Chain A
Amino acid sequence: MLDVTGLRKIYRGGDREVEAVRDLTFSLADGELACLVGPSGCGKTTLLKCISGLMRPTSGTVRVDGREVTGPPPGMAVVFQEYGRSLFPWLTVQDNVELPLKEKRLPKARRKKLVTESLEAVGLGHAASAHPWELSGGMQQRVAIARAIAYEPSVLLMDEPFAAVDAQTRADLEDLVRGLWKRFSMTVLFVTHDIDEAVYLGGRVLVLSSSPTVVQDDVEIDLGDERDQLSTRSEPRFAELRARVYAEIQNAKQGAAAGGAGR
């Protein structure tokens, strides 16, 4: 479904060059939910922008459904890290969610249904007619998530979408994402800083090294499909996987400190 091959991205600004991503290769199968963890500044956002066709990689390719990505592919939704700036302040919450659906030329009744359902799903049914700037940071983030799921994407990219919400809401949203993923059988790539979150959410965790960035490890999360905040997190297997991902991230940092890339 999603194939990233030899992806490399160098930012050039004046005489300065930043190699954000050195060499990334991985694939996600159709309907897979994978989490991406890696140290800050290792190029996670850069990777998502290349996948979503907003930025051309310096070399390497991204394929979605077998087709090479040269511009934003249809059927892909993105939740940006800067969720606040990605909402339009001149539109109400429901208009923000509806705008991409209008561009998809869905009939009005269908749009209305999707908007209402997705706002309900993130617990913002009551705030539909407010403007984004009347909401708290966490609520804005949920609007961005609602917009993404209302779009009914086949691929969903999320860039640290839960950074601004409290622990309880975060747990609810994690279950929401898993629920939606199961219900709509989307392919989801979920970027996070939080190792626990990555292990709890993902069927797979991709660990990126620090810059120059490569895929440090690819951990299969065999916790089953039915997960529960309390019981899953207290399973011994959860602790093992968590420890493994943690160790890999430490490795990645040390690898960088020693001047080497990966293993």
Chain B
Amino acid sequence: MTAPSAPAGAASAAPAAPPPPAKKSPPRPRRRLPGGDALLGTGGVLAFLLIWEIVPRTPLVSADYLPPASEVLATLAERTATAKFWTAVGDTLAAWGLGLAIAVGAAVLLGFAIGTVPVLRAYTASTVEFLRPIPSVALIPLAILIYGTDIASTLMLVIYAAFWQVYVQVLYGVADIDPVADQTARAYGLGRWARIRHLIWPTALPYLITGVRLGAAVALILTITAQLTIGSPGLGQEIAVAQSSGAPDVVYALIVATGILGVAVNTGVRALERRVLRWHPSVRGEAAV
């Protein structure tokens, strides 16, 4: 479920440089040192930009369809100086954030309510299996029919797409309770609510965060898609406008901007994950038992 790449890197880096502040005998979870990975990643990006810079200057691709990287980045820099760009970014983030928040809230409530009651879970299983694979984009005509080009139509798509990502993870998480831990909780007199709060919630949390990470990415994709096709305000709509006014460098600049947004979102969720799941084997590094 949670990808172990970052902690694995930190774990292998730790023995070489023992954390100096660890004085007391039970060591606190160590800080991770992403330095090595970050360096490698930056190198990759630079190489990519270099190729992008060179290819349009060769006969392989016309610069009309693929302006060189320097040009696109210059356009992007120009754009970021305008209020219009930031309004578009704000609109995109607002639709994304609101949609994701509603999806996560609904998925957590329903996931816990249904996941902790086996009868309900079995009863809804086939409906979920039917609804889940429906691609959100297939709902675009429906969304326009109901809400027009209002932000509500974008929200509808975003919520639908993100909800299933989170909901399915919550269901897995709720089902992953260790029977011994559950028996312990019951033996010590923890009631249903106390078990949900102190046992089921922490057990499901790693799954929930994985769901949020997947959901956040899908929500961003759907936000841009909806703005592109429906024309509700935001980066997606800006891209459509740039395309119809024949400005490929602007199209590319905005695409790069959405890419950066995606990276930022993913980084944010990962940081959240590390904060909230310090105790979890995927995060805590080499102290694993």
A interface residues, Cβ below 8 angstroms from B:
49, 52-54, 71-72, 74, 76-78, 80, 82, 84-86, 88-90, 99-100, 103-104, 126-127, 129-131, 133-135, 147, 151
Contacts and interface: CB of A to CB of B under 8 A. Distances in A.
Interface of B: 24-27, 29, 178, 180-181, 183-184, 186-191, 194, 198-199, 202, 205, 279-281, 284, 287-289
A138 to B, nearest CB: 13
Contact of B181 (A54, A88, A131): A88
Given A126-B25, A127-B25, A133-B289, A85 B178 contact: yes
Nearest to B277: A90
A189 to B, nearest CB: 14
B284 A133 contact: yes
A86 B188 CA distance: 11
Nearest to B29: A131
Nearest to A71: B186
Contacts of A90: 202, 205, 279-280
13 contacts: A49-B183, A53-B187, A72-B188, A78-B188, A80-B180, A85-B180, A85-B181, A86-B180, A86-B184, A99-B188, A103-B189, A103-B190, A133-B279
Contact of A99 (B198, B287, B288): B198
Given A72-B189, A134-B26, A134-B27, 13 more contacts: A54-B183, A72-B187, A76-B187, A78-B188, A84-B289, A89-B279, A99-B198, A103-B190, A103-B194, A127-B26, A131-B29, A134-B287, A147-B188
Contact of B184 (A71, A78, A89): A78
B73 to A, nearest CB: 44
A136 B154 CA distance: 52
B186 A72 contact: yes
A134 B284 CA distance: 10
A88 B178 CA distance: 10
Contacts of A78: 184, 187-188
A126 B26 CA distance: 8
B186 A54 contact: yes
A77 B188 CA distance: 6
Contacts, number: 74
Contacts of B280: 89-90
Contacts of B186: 54, 71-72
Contacts of B187: 52-54, 72, 76-78
A44 to B, nearest CB: 15
A224 to B, nearest CB: 33
A135 B280 CA distance: 15
Contacts of A88: 181, 198-199, 202
A54 to B, nearest CB: 5
A40 to B, nearest CB: 18
Contacts of A103: 188-191, 194
Contact of A82 (B24, B180, B188, B189): B180
A53 B24 CA distance: 41
B287 A100 contact: no
A103 B191 CA distance: 8
Contacts of A86: 180-181, 183-184
Contacts of A80: 180, 183-184
Contacts of A100: 188-190
A216 to B, nearest CB: 27
Contacts of B183: 49, 54, 80, 86
Contacts of A89: 279-280
Nearest to B194: A103
A151 B202 CA distance: 23
A77 B190 CA distance: 12
Instruction: Please indicate which of the listed interface residues A49, A53, A54, A90 has the most CB atoms of chain B within 10 Å of its own CB.
Output: A90
Instruction: Please indicate which of the listed interface residues B29, B181, B199 has the most CB atoms of chain A within 10 Å of its own CB.
Output: B181
Contact of A129 (B26, B189, B284): B26
A130 B190 contact: no
Contacts of A74: 189
Nearest to B191: A103
Contacts of A54: 183, 186-187
Contacts of B202: 88, 90
Nearest to A48: B187
Q: Which 5 A-B pairs have the closest CB atoms?
A: A130-B26, A100-B188, A85-B180, A86-B184, A90-B202
Nearest to A76: B187
A57 to B, nearest CB: 16
A129 B28 CA distance: 9
Nearest to B182: A54
B198 to A, nearest CB: 6
Nearest to B279: A90
A133 B287 contact: yes
A250 to B, nearest CB: 32
A53 B188 CA distance: 11
A135 B198 contact: no
Contacts of A53: 187
B279 A131 contact: yes
Contacts of B184: 78, 80, 86
